[in-house]
A and B are shown apart, each in its own frame.
Chain A
Amino acid sequence: MTTRSWLLHGRAASAGAVVGALLSLSAHVLAGDRRGTDDAARETTTQLAPTFEPWAQPLIEISDGAELPLFVVQGMLGGALLGMSIAALRRERSHAS
């Protein structure tokens, strides 16, 4: 890849990362304290099988405050990769034509 295409891909990845972060952040802000369906399903499980005890715990404990930035990072990664791939596809297409 030439320096120019690296710059183009970098710009697309940065733009995608910003869009991904904003999407993830705004979705979480809109969702606020609404209960997730995972928790609702856990509650139903407890009602159906009151004696069931989870036999494994997550590798790490994530506090409520840390969850948002981590999801935003995931959104950034997804957005960056999506932006870069769309830019690369556009470039391939323009070269082919």
Chain B
Amino acid sequence: MHIIEGFLPLRHAVGWTAAALPFVVGSARALSRRVNAEPAQRMRLAASGAFVLLLSSLKLPSLAGSSAHPTGTGLGSVLVGAACMPVMAGLVLLFQAVVLAHGGLTTWGANVFSLGVVGPWVAIGTFQLAERVGASPPLAVGVAAACADLATYACTAMQLAWAFPGAEGVTDAFVRFALVFGVTQLPLAALEGVFSAVVWKSIAPLSRRRPSLA
């Protein structure tokens, strides 16, 4: 889902950074409050950040001869809340931009918005909906993680379509970008869902916290 360095027009890069920054700052404050109020939460927060770091390092093969990275934000959102995820996604994206030349500093805001804001909120919403319709917690986590993954890439497709509408307009460009990501990402999202459910099963018995936005 990384938009490559320099691949967003300047005003879009600035706009997305301005849109992402309040979430990152709010997220840092939420993390700080959480750790001060409940020091025992530190390890759950660390596990969530570590999962994003681990999963985003995996370059997985997919259909049509392509490859992509899972996101890892779905599990973290369910474990510690969507509000804590922007700062974690921001740090992972900064690490990848500076050390791996993956993504970029000029596209950091846009990438944080898709990975750290849209994905986690979709994860929480999906998790709560899945539980309401009677899904077991591991199934709900798996579905939430898969939907977060897809939502992250859908947001990236929207960001690129908005920046590069072409002659046919934003909708047509969105369909083109969504197809580029969708073919690869659908099976990977399912895989991420399974992996997240497995890790959830090893962490959930150790965690008493209910999933929430905060």
* A interface residues, Cβ below 8 angstroms from B: 20, 23-24, 27-28, 30-32, 34-38, 40-42, 44-45, 47-49, 52, 54-62, 67, 70-72, 74-75, 77-82, 84-86, 88-90, 92-93
Contacts and interface: CB of A to CB of B under 8 A. Distances in A.
Interface in B15-51: 40, 43-44, 46-47, 49-51
Contacts of A23: 54, 58
A60 B97 CA distance: 9
B6 interface: yes
B101 interface: yes
B185 A37 contact: yes
A37 B54 contact: no
A44 B177 contact: yes
Given A59-B105, A78-B54, A78-B55, A31 B165 contact: no
A32 B61 contact: yes
Contacts of B146: none
Contact of A59 (B58, B66, B101, B207): B101
Most buried by A among B67, B98, B102: B67
B180 A41 contact: yes
A81 B53 contact: yes
B44 to A, nearest CB: 7
Interface in B135-179: 153, 156, 160, 164-166, 173, 176-177
B54 A75 contact: yes
B132 interface: no
Contact of A71 (B5, B7, B100): B100
Contacts of A45: 7, 160, 164
Interface of B: 1-7, 9-10, 40, 43-44, 46-47, 49-62, 65-68, 95-102, 104-106, 153, 156, 160, 164-166, 173, 176-177, 180-181, 184-185, 199, 202-203, 205-207
Contacts of A44: 160, 176-177, 180
B166 A84 contact: no
B70 to A, nearest CB: 9
A71 B2 CA distance: 15
A59 B199 CA distance: 34
B168 to A, nearest CB: 9
A54 B107 CA distance: 11
Contact of B66 (A37, A49, A54, A85): A37
